[in-house]
C-alpha cells in the first residue's frame, strides 16, 4: 500500500469523525434532537418487545433515520442563517420556518407509520 492510499483512508476517516462530531454537537445543543432520540429509543424497545416483522423494521428504521437526517439538516440551516445575519430578516425567518416545516411533515409521517405498525400489536394485548 503506497502513501497515497494511506492518505485517502485518513481523509475518509477524518470525514467520518467530522460527521460524528456534528451529530454529537447537535445532540448536546438541540432539544428537539434529544426528543427524537428518546422517542426513537422507545420505538426500538417496542419493536423488540412486539417482535415486529423484517418489513416493519425497515419502515421503522427509515422513519428514525430520516427524522434524524432532517433534524440535522434543519439545525444546519438554522446555524447558517444565524451566522449570516443577527438581525431579523423576513427571508431568514422563512428559511428557518421552511426547514422546520420539513421536519414537521416528516414527523407526522413517522407517527402515522408508527400507528400503522404498532396499533395492531397493542390491540392484541387487550
Which residue ranges make up the annotated binding site for substrate?
A: 9, 71
End-to-end CA distance of the chain: 62
The residue among 115, 36, 113 whose CA lies nearest residue 72 is 36
Residue 71 bears catalytic tag: yes
Give the containing element (helix H, strand E) for 70.
helix 54-84
Q: Cell triple for residue 37?
A: 432520540
CA 80 to the chain's CA centroid: 18
| Marked catalytic residue, from 71, 75, 113, 114 | 71
Q: Cell triple for residue 100?
A: 422546520
Name the binding residues for a divalent metal cation.
30, 78
Neighbouring C-beta atoms of residue 64, cutoff 10 Å: 21
**Catalytic annotation, residues:** 71
Amino acid at each position: 500500500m503506497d502513501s497515497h492510499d494511506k492518505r485517502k483512508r485518513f481523509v475518509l476517516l477524518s470525514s467520518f469523525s467530522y460527521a460524528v462530531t456534528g451529530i454529537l454537537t447537535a445532540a448536546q445543543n438541540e432539544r428537539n434532537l434529544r426528543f427524537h432520540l428518546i422517542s426513537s429509543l422507545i420505538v426500538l424497545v417496542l419493536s423488540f418487545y412486539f417482535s415486529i416483522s423484517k418489513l416493519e423494521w425497515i419502515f421503522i428504521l427509515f422513519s428514525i433515520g430520516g427524522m434524524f437526517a432532517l433534524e440535522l439538516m434543519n439545525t444546519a440551516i438554522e446555524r447558517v442563517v444565524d451566522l449570516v445575519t443577527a438581525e431579523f430578516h423576513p427571508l431568514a425567518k422563512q428559511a428557518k420556518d421552511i426547514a422546520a416545516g420539513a421536519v414537521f411533515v416528516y414527523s407526522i409521517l413517522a407517527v402515522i407509520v408508527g400507528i400503522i405498525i404498532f396499533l395492531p400489536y397493542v390491540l392484541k394485548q387487550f
